[in-house]
């Protein structure tokens, strides 16, 4: 540990220096401000004892220069009673503490010890922060590579799966010759599993594209009421299969939106799928669209188990599922929906009381345009 004593009084420097050396410190002396600054520029001092009054510069000036050279140097001002004010000012400007002259050695040593302890902690903190930052950078890089890998694999999976699905369809539809009911059932089960795989792979591809910032938006003007009705009509069989009631409230004059049609469909599909999937037989699912000023509100409600308070944010994170669920899923539907909504500068959330059903709401600006583009 090295200490620089900055004082214009050579006797004071000597006395103080001797005691500090006896305590095991390395000590250097400076008689003027410029000498002090030169010393601090040449090497790092753990601590500087600065006389408030120096012949060439003020103690405050030296303090500023010393701290500018290395902010880790602990500065302690030495002051006569008359200049207490400037010591207090010095503390405001980054001095660690001040001691009054003539110095009481025990008090000086105590302050020095405390100052050095503070420095040790702050250097340790800096080191840890640096380590954490480096580790974080490395993780980010790994995460990027992992996303790219997932994207590639998902992409490679898609075509073969589509081919298998098509082949199964051809056989099931009897286009490759007659098959009996049992064979048809087996192949249909295979087909629905392939379809699930395709959905999963599409989700993985979506999420990795979003993470890599490569999700492309193809915005267009379209009738949002029409789209919602179209999507809902594909669910009729599902509703009757689960003996569910569905209600819709879509004003016929709800109008147009400027958005990516396929992606908004995906959001609606994910939310409706969830509503049906998590609501027990005989329940109810409702869809409501409202226009408010320049925004469109979408509400998808159900009479299912609801979302406990502590899960209301979490379920929008990747792979988060409410633990007790025994229902199939990956935990990607909501994060994808959220990303898409946010890419449209909208917002999404859930309102729910556990046991009383859920209401997923998302809001989209009707006519959001990226700056300087037509999209």
Ligand X SMILES: Nc1ncnc2c1ncn2[C@@H]1O[C@H](COP(=O)(O)OP(=O)(O)OP(=O)(O)O)[C@@H](O)[C@H]1O
Is residue 83 within the footprint of Mg ion (CB under 5 A)?
no
CB of 336 to Mg ion, least distance (A): 9
Contact pattern for ligand X over residues 181 through 210, marking x by CB under 6 A: ----------------------x-------
31 binds, among ligand X, Mg ion, none (CB under 5 to 8 A by kind): none
Q: Is 15 in the site for ligand X (CB under 6 A)?
A: no
Beta-bridge partners for 302: 285
Select from Mg ion, ligand X, none the partner in contact with residue 203, using the beta carbon and a kind-dependent cut-off of 5 to 8 Å: ligand X
- The least distance separating ligand X from the CB of residue 275, rounded to whole angstroms, comes to 5
Site for ligand X in 345-364 (CB under 6 A): 358
Q: How many CB atoms lie within 10 A of CB 313?
A: 12
Nearest-CB residue to ligand X? 333
HEC readout, the chain: CEEEEECCCHHHHHHHHHHHHHCCCEEEEECCHHHHHHHHHHCCCCEEEEECECCCCEHHHHHHHHHHHCCCCEEEEEECHHHHHHHHHHHHCCCCEEEECCCCHHHHHHHHHHHHHHHHHHHHHHHHHHHHHHHHHHHHHHHHHHHHHHHHHHHHHHHHHHHHHHHHHHHHCCECECCCHHHHHHHHHHHHHHHHHHHHHHHHHHHHHHHCCCCCCCEEEEEHHHHHHHHHHCCHHHHHHCCCEEEEECCCCCCEEEEEHHHHHHHHHHHHHHHHHHCCCCCEEEEEEEEECCEEEEEEEECCCCCCHHHCCHHHCCCCCCCCCCCCCCCCHHHHHHHHHHHCCCEEEEEECCCCCEEEEEEEECCCCCCCCCC
Q: How far is the CB of 218 from ligand X (least distance, A)?
A: 23
Among 302, 340, 344, 363, binds ligand X (CB under 6 A): 302
Residues 241-270 contacting ligand X, CB under 6 A: 270
| Closest distance of CB 169 from ligand X, Å | 22
**Taking the complex as a whole, how short is the minimal distance between the CB of residue 210 and ligand X, in angstroms?**
14
Whichever of 94 and 331 has its CB closer to ligand X, that residue is 331
Rank residues 72 and 313 by Cβ distance to Mg ion and give the closer one.
Answer: 313
Minimum Å gap between C-beta 332 and Mg ion is 7
Residue placing its CB nearer to ligand X in the complex, 268 or 307: 307
Among 274, 296, 340, 346, binds ligand X (CB under 6 A): 274
Q: Does 333 bind Mg ion (CB under 5 A)?
A: yes
Closest distance between Mg ion and the C-beta of residue 360, in Å? Answer: 11
What are the residues binding Mg ion (CB under 5 A)? 274, 333
What are the residues binding ligand X (CB under 6 A)? 203, 270, 274-275, 278, 302, 304-305, 307, 315, 320-322, 325, 329-335, 358
């Amino acid at each position: 540990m090295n200490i620089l004593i900055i004082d214009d009084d050579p006797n004071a420097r000597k006395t103080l220096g001797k005691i500090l050396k006896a305590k095991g410190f390395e000590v250097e002396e400076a008689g003027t401000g410029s000498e002090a600054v030169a010393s601090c520029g040449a090497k790092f001092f753990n601590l500087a004892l600065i006389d408030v009054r120096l012949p060439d510069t003020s103690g405050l000036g030296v303090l500023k220069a010393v701290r500018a050279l290395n902010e880790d140097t602990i500065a302690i001002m030495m002051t006569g009673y008359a200049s207490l004010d400037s010591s207090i000012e010095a503390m405001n400007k980054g001095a660690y503490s001040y001691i009054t002259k003539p110095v009481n050695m025990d008090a000086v040593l105590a302050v020095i010890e405390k100052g050095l302890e503070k420095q040790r902690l702050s250097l340790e903190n800096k080191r840890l922060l640096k380590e954490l930052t480096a580790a974080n950078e490395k993780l980010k890089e790994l995460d990027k590579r992992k996303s790219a890998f997932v994207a590639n694999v998902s992409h490679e999976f898609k075509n073969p799966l589509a081919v298998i699905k098509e082949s199964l369809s051809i056989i099931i539809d009897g286009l490759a010759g007659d098959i009996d009911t049992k064979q048809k059932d087996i192949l249909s089960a295979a087909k629905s599993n392939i379809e699930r795989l395709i959905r999963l792979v599409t989700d993985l591809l979506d999420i990795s594209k979003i993470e890599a910032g490569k999700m492309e938006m193809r915005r267009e003007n379209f009738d949002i009421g029409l789209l919602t009705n179209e999507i809902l009509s594909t669910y009729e069989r599902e509703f009757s299969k689960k003996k569910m009631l569905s209600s819709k409230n879509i004003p016929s004059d709800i109008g147009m939106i400027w958005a990516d049609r396929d992606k908004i469909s995906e959001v609606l599909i994910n939310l409706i799928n969830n509503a049906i999937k998590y609501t027990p037989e005989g329940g109810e699912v409702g869809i409501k669209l409202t226009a408010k000023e320049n925004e469109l509100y979408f509400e998808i409600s159900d009479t299912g188990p609801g979302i406990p308070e502590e899960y209301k944010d979490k379920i929008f994170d990747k792979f988060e599922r409410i633990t007790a669920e025994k229902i199939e899923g990956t935990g990607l539907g909501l994060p994808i929906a959220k990303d898409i909504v946010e890419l449209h500068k909208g917002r999404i959330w859930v309102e729910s009381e556990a046991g009383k059903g859920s209401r997923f709401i998302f809001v989209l600006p009707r006519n959001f345009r990226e700056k300087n583009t037509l999209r």
